[in-house]
């Protein structure tokens, strides 16, 4: 609740700042007033609390019911591979991401490229989420580690259980992919439009008078 109150207040202040920036950039008229209501922050805090409670209950359900002997046995056992359904789903997501990336490179209109861009980012993010343990295993197999005993133990710990780094890779990938797609696609398209306008008003060839060298032609 404390984090929700702080985040809601910061979000409202950020909304006012963004409005001033949009007005200064000419993206919105200055007479469009920013309407602040208490209902969105309240709904956001309640949704966050419910989601956190459900996630904690679901993740701790099996841990709370397992016997100590079974827990020790599972700790001693090596980590199992990916289930076949998850592996096949991840490979299908990779194939779909490759196909959509190739299709996206051939689109030249904003109306066609906009939906495909978001879908492509979502497919690649889904592939990373499904194949996260394999990606983490490949990353930890690289001969890179921090110096000293701490780096050695950290690398051994990560290689022993790739599920933990995979659980961190998935949300970071989702945040990075969606944020970069939302922020950089409009700026990239704007730069491309500006380049097209400059290329349209600039002549490829210029016809001018021949410079006289001071000698009469024969």
**Mean pLDDT on 71-84:** 64
Same domain? For 117 and 188 the reply is yes
Handedness of CA 126, 128, 131, 132 (dihedral sign): negative
Tell me if 205 is assigned to some domain.
no
Please check whether residue 76 lies inside any domain of the structure: no
Q: What is the pLDDT of residue 92?
A: 95
Residue 214's pLDDT is what? 58
Same domain, 96 and 32: no
pLDDT band at 154 (very low <50, low <70, confident <90, very high): confident
180-212 pLDDT, tens digit per residue, is 888 888 788 788 778 888 887 877 777 777 766
Q: Does residue 206 form part of some domain?
A: no
Per the CB < 8 A criterion, the answer to whether 161 and 137 are in contact is no
131 and 99 fall within a common domain: yes
When pLDDT is averaged across residues 104-119 and rounded to a whole number, the result is 80
Q: At what angle do helices 132-140 and 148-160 cross, to 10 degrees?
A: 150
18-37 confidence digits (pLDDT tens) = 888 888 888 788 888 888 88
Domain range for 13 is: 1-67
* Domain-embedded: residue 125: yes
User: In this structure, is residue 53 part of a structural domain?
Assistant: yes
- Domain membership of residue 9 (yes or no) is yes
- Share of residues in the chain with pLDDT > 70 (%): 89
């Amino acid at each position: 609740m404390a984090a929700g109150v702080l985040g809601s207040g910061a979000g409202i202040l950020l909304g006012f700042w963004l409005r001033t920036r949009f007005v200064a950039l000419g993206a919105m008229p200055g007479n469009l007033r920013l309407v602040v209501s208490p209902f969105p922050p309240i709904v956001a805090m309640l949704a966050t609390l419910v989601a956190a409670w459900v996630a904690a209950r679901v993740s701790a359900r099996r841990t709370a019911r397992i016997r100590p002997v079974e827990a020790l046995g599972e700790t001693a056992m090596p980590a199992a591979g990916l289930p076949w359904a998850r592996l096949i789903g991840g490979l299908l997501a990779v194939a779909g991401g490759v196909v959509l990336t190739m299709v996206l490179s051939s689109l030249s209109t904003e109306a066609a490229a906009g939906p495909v861009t978001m879908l492509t980012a979502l497919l690649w993010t889904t592939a990373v989420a499904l194949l996260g343990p394999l990606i983490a295993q490949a990353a930890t197999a690289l001969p890179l580690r921090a110096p000293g005993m701490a780096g050695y133990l950290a690398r051994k710990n990560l290689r022993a259980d790739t599920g933990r780094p995979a659980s961190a890779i998935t949300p970071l990938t989702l945040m990075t992919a969606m944020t970069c797609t939302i922020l950089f696609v409009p700026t990239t398209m704007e730069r491309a439009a500006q380049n097209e306008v400059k290329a349209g008003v600039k002549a490829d060839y210029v016809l001018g008078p021949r410079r006289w060298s001071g000698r009469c032609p024969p």
